[in-house]
Structure 1
Amino acid sequence: MAALIVAAAATSVGAQEPYPNRPVRIIVPFPPGGGTDTVTRVLAQKISENWKQPVVIDNRPGGNSIIGAEAAARSTPDGYTLLAAIDSTLAMNPSLYAKLSYDPVKDFVPITLATSYPLILEATPSFAAKDMRELIAMLKSEGAKINVAYPALPAQVAGELMKSVLGVTFTGVNYKGGAPALQDVMAGHVPLVLDALGPSLPHVKSGKVKPYAVTSKRRSAALPDVPTFTELGYPEMEVITWVGYLAPAGTRDDIVRKLNSEFVRVLKLPDVRERFAGLGTDIHGTSPEEFAAQIRSDSAKFDKVIKAANIKVE
């Protein structure tokens, strides 16, 4: 009997198929063409070339990324369905929705935090404040009359954090995406916008918007002359929007480790680093444990902001 058990166990182990031996799907909970989609397609192509297996992008937009995250959470935990998530997917939605159809901690296994980019506070070129210190003084004295565009949920949360940290007031205006928000700022319809660095980068460089500060710990290599909130004395304003990859809970650890190694390898490739640098994107390639710690830290931070500002989803 013992011999039969050992033989059965050996057969079971031996029967495990090598991974991957068929196409891998990455669910992107946003439309094609956005930042998360672009980053994921670059990485997927490189992984596919190395593994000799297709890595397919499955765009599932809608509901502040809830639709795509739910689909990934309910997928078979075999390593063939992954989720591309951003900070709001895992660290903001739980505080915004009383009933969320997925649990960011229980339903997923982190693979790696791949890339990030800061937000940038910028204005129409004719706006009076010439630098951040003048802007803060203006917002303290007449902020109630000044509008700030919020292109997306992370910007709204960061904007409410900015009010608290800087001790200023202003009126946040929600937009459905960065393009219309930037267009209104460049046209002078709204004086200020808090937006992701990537979409803003060409407009800053062309002088169509005036930058004040970025929310990263260090200055962006893409805009070395733009100060950080941290160096201006506001380290609490360190806010990065990140793109990370996860697998459904229950995925074997050896598969998670193999995925992590492959993502990290691709993120170190010179042509990938050059491509992302042009997008104003910082490269990370963390371990699963480091990514899990980032999710916990951001969840606690944003939960306080969302509750204090009573932010509601529309």
Structure 2
Amino acid sequence: MRRNLLTLAAAMAAAALFSTASQAQSFPDKTVTFIVPFAAGSATDLLARALAQAVTLDAKVSVVVDNKPGGNAFIGAQAAARAKPDGYTVLIATNTTHAANEHLFKKLPYDPVKDFEPLTLLGRGGQIMLVNPSLGVNTVAEFVKLAKSKPGKLSFGSGSSSSRIAGELFKQMAGAYIVAIPYRSNPPAVTDLIGGQIDVMITDMATGLPQVKGGKLKALGVSTLQRSPLAPDVPTISEAGVKGYEMTYWFAAYAPAGTPAPVVARLNELLVKAAKSSTAASFYQSTGTEITTTTPEGLRKVQADESVKWGKIIQAAGIAPE
């Protein structure tokens, strides 16, 4: 009897494995949904739509983008975590949902590790450090000197976790006390920077660079270790005065926990190919985002490393979880 039960169990396991593998070979055969935890028009939304178009052309199935903004990206992340783990729901996420939130909030309605299967990193982007021309500084080194001479008198604005943590890291590495002024988003902060209500901010290229080209703000440096092709004349913050400084934001894709491994592998294949396609090229080029893809395990490691990094910066800044 025991031998028969073991044989039956083995047969059932083999049948289940065959069924999963068979499903993965035909996957996808119906509409796939990309959940974006940010508003339409955001950088994450634009990336998701570019990838959706590329996957649609490649896999010959419809891919729709479902924006679920709000609640510090909680709403979209939670919806993806609760979706059926069959591969037909993908979360297009960022460092906000999977590295920063767990340190900025006491309790999340989702677990960034346990609730998701990593698929692939999708790209890394840099930010740009801006000041009002009336501040009278032309380099990062000059700004640091000014800030140190007036501790607590200068302020920096931020309207996203990437912008806030970039500013906090700058303060820590430069050894300067600059007051943090939070905003609901980056554009209003840029408006106040132009108006002189704040003194400096580090923001995404799409938001900040047009103001530099329009002569309203001055760029002191970029947050990556390499100069940006969008602003090749602007030095890196590292080379311009704060050696070793680097702070990037990143995009990544996740499936709900429990998604079968063969389906995860197929999604990784489709998304990596989409990121490198001509269809998505305009997004990467226009935003200065570097195409960066990984294996699922590669993304798992990136996320773990980034969580530690962001956690240390947040703790050192004395930011109390909400």
What TM-score bracket applies, with the shorter chain setting the length? over 0.9
Which of 241, 247, 252 does residue 239 from structure 1 map onto?
247
Measure how far apart 1:116 and its partner are.
1.9
1:157–1:306 contact (8 Å) kept in structure 2: yes
1:114–1:244 contact (8 Å) kept in structure 2: yes
SS in 1 for 2:47: helix
Measure how far apart 1:101 and its partner are.
1.7
1:69–1:102 contact (8 Å) kept in structure 2: yes
Q: 1:132 to 1:111 in 2, by over 3 A?
A: same
Give the TM-score of the pair, scaled to structure 2: 0.90
SS in 1 for 2:319: coil
Q: Partner letter of residue 115 of structure 2?
A: D
Distance in 1, Cα, partners of 2:283 & 2:82: 33
Query: What does residue 56 of structure 1 align with?
Result: 64
Bigger mean CA deviation after superposition, 60-69 or 263-272: 263-272
Q: Which runs of 5+ in 2 are unaligned?
A: none
Q: How does 1:150-299 map to 2 (within 5 A)?
A: 150-232=158-240, 234=242, 236-299=244-307
Which of 83, 89, 107 does residue 75 from structure 1 map onto?
83
Distance in 2, Cα, partners of 1:196 & 1:292: 25
Give the TM-score of the pair, scaled to structure 1: 0.93
Measure how far apart 1:235 and its partner are.
5.0
Q: Which runs of 5+ in 1 are unaligned?
A: none
1:112–1:260 contact (8 Å) kept in structure 2: yes
Distance in 2, Cα, partners of 1:22 & 1:80: 8
1:267–1:283 contact (8 Å) kept in structure 2: yes
Q: How does 1:111-150 map to 2 (within 5 A)?
A: 111-150=119-158
Distance in 1, Cα, partners of 2:94 & 2:10: 45
Q: 1:52 to 1:134 in 2, by over 3 A?
A: same
Q: How does 1:21-60 map to 2 (within 5 A)?
A: 21-60=29-68
Q: How does 1:1-16 map to 2 (within 5 A)?
A: 6=11, 9-10=14-15, 13-14=18-19, 16=22
Q: Partner letter of residue 206 of structure 2?
A: G
Distance in 1, Cα, partners of 2:146 & 2:40: 39
Provide, for residues 93-115 of structure 1, a one-character-per-residue CA deviation record: whole Å limited to 9, x for no partner.
11122222211111111111112
Distance in 2, Cα, partners of 1:162 & 1:230: 10
2:220–2:237 contact (8 Å) kept in structure 1: no
Q: Partner letter of residue 72 of structure 1?
A: A
Question: Root-mean-square deviation (CA), in Å?
Answer: 2.2
Does 1:102 find its partner at 2:110?
A: yes
Q: 1:13 to 1:183 in 2, by over 3 A?
A: same
Bigger mean CA deviation after superposition, 279-288 or 32-41: 279-288
2:50–2:279 contact (8 Å) kept in structure 1: no
Distance in 2, Cα, partners of 1:264 & 1:205: 33
2:46–2:283 contact (8 Å) kept in structure 1: no
Distance in 2, Cα, partners of 1:275 & 1:150: 23
Measure how far apart 1:306 and its partner are.
1.3
Q: 1:206 to 1:292 in 2, by over 3 A?
A: same
Q: Partner letter of residue 241 of structure 1?
A: Y
2:167–2:201 contact (8 Å) kept in structure 1: no
Distance in 2, Cα, partners of 1:11 & 1:141: 68
Provide, for residues 174-199 of structure 1, a one-character-per-residue CA deviation record: whole Å limited to 9, x for no partner.
11112111122223332222111222
- Count the aligned residue pairs: 314
Measure how far apart 1:42 and its partner are.
0.7
Measure how far apart 1:313 and its partner are.
5.8
Q: 1:253 to 1:208 in 2, by over 3 A?
A: same
Provide, for residues 141-187 of structure 1, a one-character-per-residue CA deviation record: whole Å limited to 9, x for no partner.
11421121112122112211211111011111111112111122223
Distance in 2, Cα, partners of 1:281 & 1:8: 44
Q: Identity across aligned pairs (percent)? A: 37
Q: Partner letter of residue 292 of structure 1?
A: R
Measure how far apart 1:304 and its partner are.
1.3
